[in-house]
Amino acid sequence: MKKITLAAVAAAIALAATAYASPYYALHQIKSALAERNAEALAAHVDFPALRASVKTQLEAGMARSIEATAGSDNPLAALGQRVASAMLGKMVDAMVSPAGVVALVNKSAVSPQTDANADAPAEGARKKADYSAGYAGVNTFVVRAKDGDAQQGALVLLRHGVWGWKLSSIEIASAMAGR
């Protein structure tokens, strides 16, 4: 009886450990897909409808703040312009945040010409290894931020799908970028 109890406790601990480590493994798979320029593998880790909604909401809010700051809240032409821009923005986000958009973004560096005279040298930003922090923000939410943790930098938000599955479901756009 003692062996069965011990085995059950060991199995429960192993189950809890793998469930806890699962977003770190998903993050590793996303990084590997990006490094290999494997758009299909990357797309498997993205919840496109949720990501589209997140990006649209943040960009529309930033656009509304920008228009209100520039034209004022009582300007009827500003409201009309915001509606037109919002419709265009929605179509652009739908096109970019899609499996085809992911393929284009992942493969962009492979097809775009290098303007630098030394094409073999990595770009200045690519030389520095990306430092980030990753951790749980809730039982079903996992957030990846720049190492300094500054909210101004933006973040990637993965949401739990099942017990071990995680998908990129939201991007917290840096406030400087969202306000432009």
Instruction: Quote the pLDDT of residue 112.
Output: 41
- 3-state SS, 34-91, equals HHHCCHHHHHCCECHHHHHHHHHHHHHHHHHHHHHHHHCCCCHHHHHHHHHHHHHHHH
Instruction: Work out whether the CA dihedral 141, 142, 146, 148 comes out positive or negative.
Output: positive
Compute the distance between CA of residue 151 and CA of residue 172 in angstroms, rounded to an integer. 9
Mean pLDDT (whole number) for 79-90: 79
pLDDT tens sequence across 128-150:
566 788 899 999 999 988 776 55
Q: What is the mean pLDDT of the chain?
A: 78
CA 171 to chain centre: 4
